[in-house]
Chains A and B, each alone.
Chain A
Amino acid sequence: MKKTTEKIAGYIFLIFGCIAIVSVGAITIYMLVKGVPALKEVGIPELIFGTVWEPTASNPRYGIFYIILSSVVGTFGAVLLGVPIGILTAVFLTDFTNESKIGRRISSVLSAAVELLAAIPSVIYGLIGMMVLNPLMYRLEKAIYAGNTEHQFTGGSNLLSAIIVLAIMILPTVINISTSSIRAVPKSVRLASLALGASKIQTIFRVVLPAARSGLMTGVVLGVGRALGEAMAINMVAGGSVNIPLPFNSVKLLTTQLVSEMSYSSGLHRQVLFTVGLVLYLFIVGINLLLTRMKKKGELEHD
């Protein structure tokens, strides 16, 4: 009797476990089925490497190269800006707040702030970006391009705004993962370094951070994933025209293109949007494979 219940329970768990696998499988198949036809119809070189996006023209062109490039540059920029801030915050949390009472208080406030930062919905980031960041950016843009007749003024909705918003949005991920990986570095390693006469700063940058390397990289990769997949906030601050991704150009990213054009699109335009989704999906799959590999490598190092 007991055996049968155990068995049944086992099957129930198996079924629930399969839901995730089936979902991923179904999504992958769906994206491929929906995304590949347009790839065939338009042609891979024209679609992936074309730079003209005019899906509703009488002679439509479906080039998404600038859009892919904008996503890559935007994500890279956000990581470049967000990761140093995140890792240094993590160092502050782990190594500078334990000694004094006030330090511990700052640490608890900071941790709470980071938690809250992670919980803020992306549309709020977008709203603040739109109402506060964009006007500031426009002032900067006017100052930099004063008297320039070639530049198209974007009103502050540009790649740089998107990067800044994304950088703030990936901060919690980077800080949390970095903090726990720095904490995981054995105390003996720090003590050994200090005992050899290294200063605290030297210990952190030469010993602790290198020892926590694989964990820090995991944080970076997760940050990349978050930045790449963000749509709502970016849609509100990036301008949305297809352009070369330069800091003061209005840009369209893979995610924002899907969000903004899906509702009214039809025919081949819609099919191409599915291909855009497929490209985004493949990027994310790639990032995740990288993550899995790094985690394995990290485990091996620790063994």
Chain B
Amino acid sequence: MQNLADEILYPGKEENMKKKLLKLSGMVLASVLMVTTIAGCGAKDEQKLSGKITLAGSTSMQKVCEALMEGFMEKYEDITVTTEYTGSGAGLESLANGSVNIGNASRHVKDAEKEKGLVENVVALDGIAVISHKDNAVKDLTKEELTGIYRGEIKNWSELGGQDEAIVVIGRENGSGTRDAFEELLGVKDACNYAQELDSTGAVMAKVAATPGAIGYVSLDVVNDSVLALKLNGVDATEQNILAGEYALQRPFVMATKGEISEQSDLVQVWFEYLGSEEGKTIIRNTGLILPN
């Protein structure tokens, strides 16, 4: 390799360009071959593990679970991972009675559940930002004010000290994970009075940006300059504030196990190893979630 570097930096005059290129490409080819062989060996070792991992629980975690499963099963071809989306409570219940390996929950594991031997492993944090039109003079809302807006009790920004502008309450469609999380965290489940129900994050961003007086909610990671991200109880919606636990509209994504991870089968341990690897972390981040400390 040293020779090659020398030649690139200080090309010898006696060799013509063509020869050099040939040599160079030969070296590159060889190194590529070497790397793939090494990688292939590594994969083979890991593939000795085979069997099935079963998960059950939160519907909100469907997106991240699907992505993780796809990445995981591509790496470990002999391991099958299945997930049932039955809801957080039902998932932990199945884990407690031993019918699945991992219970997914989009909330903290309760004490009563911990007494059954369940251990909480937070794999990600989900944050929801409240956004409004840029011209809005109100920059900070309390949780109660936000609840009032979404229940349809507060209808004009002037009631909150802003300009005289009707509040256009924008949300997501039935079945959306973001809507589910927002309504649950705010305690307004089934009590929201939406003026618009849109079926994608992009649509919410676009409508809020284009409609004076609009308010909406989206995953934290998509917020940009086109809208105004509102403070909640004086706290900015940022990754730091979520990690510090100060921002209200956040929830943990938990993959609970019965007993510590170290007590689990090899398969389950490999799964958690994968979640902790750079590859797993990238997948989690790409689904718009925040990695826990």
Contact = CB atoms under 8 A, between A and B. Distances in A.
Interface of B: 59, 62, 85, 152, 155, 166-170, 173-177, 180, 189-190, 193-199, 203, 206-207, 210-214
Interface in A250-302: 250, 252, 259-261, 263-266, 269
A52 B203 CA distance: 25
Contacts of B59: 266
Contacts of A154: 168, 195-196
A135 interface: yes
Given A58-B189, A264-B177, A155 B213 contact: yes
Contacts of A53: 174
A277 to B, nearest CB: 16
A142 B212 CA distance: 11
In this complex, the member of B166, B167, B169, B198 whose beta carbon has the largest number of chain A beta carbons within 10 angstroms is: B166
Contacts of A236: 203
Nearest to B197: A240
A261 B175 contact: yes
B213 A265 contact: no
B175 A56 contact: yes
A153 to B, nearest CB: 4
Contacts of A263: 175, 199
Contact of A56 (B167, B174, B193, B194): B174
Interface of A: 53-58, 130-131, 134-135, 138, 142, 149, 152-157, 235-236, 239-241, 250, 252, 259-261, 263-266, 269
Given A155-B196, A239-B197, A261-B199, A135 B175 contact: no
A138 B211 contact: yes
B195 A152 contact: yes
A56 B195 contact: no
Contacts of A135: 210-211
A155 B174 contact: no
Contacts of B199: 235, 240, 259-261, 263
A129 to B, nearest CB: 12
B177 A240 contact: no
A153 B155 contact: yes
Which 10 A-B residue pairs are closest in the complex by CB-CB distance? A153-B166, A260-B199, A264-B175, A155-B211, A155-B168, A57-B190, A240-B197, A260-B173, A154-B195, A239-B196
B136 to A, nearest CB: 13
